[in-house]
Amino acid sequence: MDFERVYDRKKDGSLKWNKYNEEVIPLWVADMDFEVAEPIRAAVQRYTDAGIYGYAMPPAALAGTVISWLRSRYGWEIEKEWIVWLPSVLSGLGTAARYVSAAPYGVMTSVPVYRPFLDIGSAEGRRLQAVPLKAEGWTMDFDAMEAALTEDTRVYILCNPHNPTGRMYSRGELEQLADFCLKHDIFILSDEIHADLTLDQHRQHIPVASLSPEVAAQTFSFFSAAKAFNIPALNSAFAVIPDARHREGFDKIRLHTVPNMTLLGGDACRAAFAESGGWLEAALDYLRANHDFLYEEINAIPGLKMNRAEATYLAWIDYSESGIPDFAACLEKYGVGVMEGTVFMGENHIRLNFGTQRHVLEEAVRRIRTAVENRG
């Protein structure tokens, strides 16, 4: 578990590392620069050694592994029948959006938020209802949500833990959201892909569907080992859909639009949840140290402000007082690749991925400081 070890990811076709030229440190897309846990590597090796790669099902033990993981991490008891295997969380979100209705309808979400939520909300005739979070604390604005509500609002897409702000919603916030959705007969599509990346050691992730049977019946919850165990290319995700009717309808659409989870993805997911807990805890310790370093350094740069992230390895940095427009473009000139906040419908912010080696992060901070000192 040497998180300081550097890899040449460009030679492996890395999306993250091949976006820019050699002079730019890429801290944009959400994957980490750490080697995976040994049990995951062994699972991949077993798959490649087989020599025949025909149609296959996820391993039989995976359902029990997922059930135990959700119970031990979040205290959520689920049934085996509730699980639907998926290649990715995004494919599940798209499938659920199609299941809700073939007719155009309103899709509400709180912004800034992960860009594909916005795309799903406006695709195939759907109507996006983007409601700004309260900038103070990045909390949901329920008064604004009530005001934005229309008769055709059918879905709320939740991101918890939240990308890009790093928030973990409290039980009280989730209960208020659940009450809002139950009152107005709105489905909750809950992206919980960052659930295992809790930085605040005094907090525990709360799956929104775990609040009550009534909430669970209206919720499609999506999880994956991809982010926490750094295996986004292995297609290892799943939905938890307690309502049998909704699950059956979801699965019928999935069969014709989404590839099955592969044996490789299933084996990797099982190895992650069942055998790689020690790696995850070590990774979280490393990420917490990176976060704390970044938090102190960014807030020491005049014109920049970073709130503490409660989860994820993503920093949401406010540059509104820097005097530099389009800060992401400016930083690229100084050799740092980040995502401009407007991608998420967030103004005057950048998102920075700190899931990398400390010395890489230190150099990125030095370049950011130089960019601000030179005013772009």
Instruction: Give pLDDT tens digits for 265-316.
Output: 999 999 999 999 999 999 999 999 999 999 999 999 999 999 999 999 999 9
Respond yes or no on whether the N-terminal peptide bond of residue 112 is cis (omega within 30° of 0): yes
- From the list 110, 108, 87, 115, the residue with the least C-alpha distance to 30 is 115
Respond yes or no on whether the N-terminal peptide bond of residue 164 is cis (omega within 30° of 0): yes
For the domain made up of 10-37+277-371, give the CATH fold: Aspartate Aminotransferase, domain 1 (3.90.1150)
Comparing 4-8, 16-20, 30-34, 36-40, the range with the smallest average pLDDT is 4-8
- pLDDT at position 256 over 90: no
Question: Is pTM, for the whole model, over 0.85?
Answer: yes
Tokens standing for 299? 């807030």
For the chain, which residues make up each domain, given as ranges?
A: 10-37+277-371, 44-275
116-126 confidence digits (pLDDT tens): 999 999 999 99
130-177 confidence digits (pLDDT tens): 999 999 999 999 999 999 999 999 999 999 999 999 999 999 999 999
177-196 confidence digits (pLDDT tens): 999 999 999 999 999 999 99
Can you tell me whether residue 300 is helix, strand or coil?
A: coil
- pLDDT at position 74 over 90: yes
The domain 44-275 having CATH identifier 3.30.70.120: the answer here is no
